[in-house]
Amino acid sequence: MGGGAEALRPDRLELGEGIRWTDRGIVLVDILAGRLLTAVGHPADPLRQLAQLPVPLGAVAPVADAPGTWIAAAGTGICMLGPDGSTRWLAQPDADAARPMRMNDATTDPFGRFWAGSMSYDADEGAGSLYRVDHDGTVTRVLDDITVPNGPAFTADGATMYLADSARGVIRRYPVDPATAELGPPEVFVTVDDGSPDGMVVDVEGAVWVAVWGTGSVRRYLPDGRLDRTLSLPARQPAGVCLQEDLLHITTARVGLAEPGPYDGAVFTARVDVPGRLATAYRYGGSVSLPGERS
């Protein structure tokens, strides 16, 4: 396989994304199928399903001090997903949008806030938004006029956020106020001309690994935007990346391919020389009880 990446697990996902290294192991989603999955056991074992929702599931993060509970970008908003698969919605801001919408990628920042993007099913120009979920569960729209948001990804100090608008081929970098989480004026970090920047992760040197949809590649960009290296895959649509110490895990997709190849939709792993950090849990201190708790 190209670039030293291996796909040992037998699973082939329709739209594998949202892969994260958490204190509960590696988790990922098959977005359109609404499936939350974990990569456990031997590297060649099948993925194990943790939950399945009746709506698309963009990404999750563990909720601190709530074993088995996740915060999820799902359907048209944000919900808490309990150990038994039950949901409690914090907000569904895109439920009444003019176009049919769904949530896409999401992550936590180093302070334990949850950030999630939305898009229209047809990827209509500028129809998407970015939302921030604060510690009390309040959901705030912080950006609009995004077509297909992916990421975001944060530096270790939480002072910088990277956000891809995949359909427009651009990754922007935003300053973040550590106290208020307000975003400052963005600058263009990277423009991709030969594909679409998708999922991202920042390593311990501050470089950004980017899955580049349509190119069969994952690219590492230095903090100044220079391309450092490229990892080639035998799958056309890389969609998500995460670093588990020095292991780079990559999700791919089969959706939209008339004739998927044998590795399209696979989950790949490659060893790298610069490690990553454990994903932060969402820190919830709101008054709404979590799924499974007594009200």
Active site residues: 198
The closest alpha carbon to 31, from 68, 69, 89, 73, belongs to 73
Which residues, listed in sequence order, are joined to residue 81 by a DSSP beta bridge? 70, 87
Spatial separation of the C-alpha atoms in residues 161 and 33, rounded to whole Å = 28
Distances (CA, A) of 269 to 8, 152, 184, 245: 8, 21, 35, 12
Q: Could you tell me the two tokens for 244?
A: 């588990």
From the CB of residue 182, how many other CB atoms can be counted at a distance below 10 Å?
Answer: 12
Backbone CA torsion sign across 35, 68, 241, 281: positive
Spatial separation of the C-alpha atoms in residues 146 and 165, rounded to whole Å = 6
3-state secondary structure 100-115: CEEEEEEEECCCCCEE
From the CB of residue 259, how many other CB atoms can be counted at a distance below 10 Å?
Answer: 5
3-state secondary structure of 214: coil
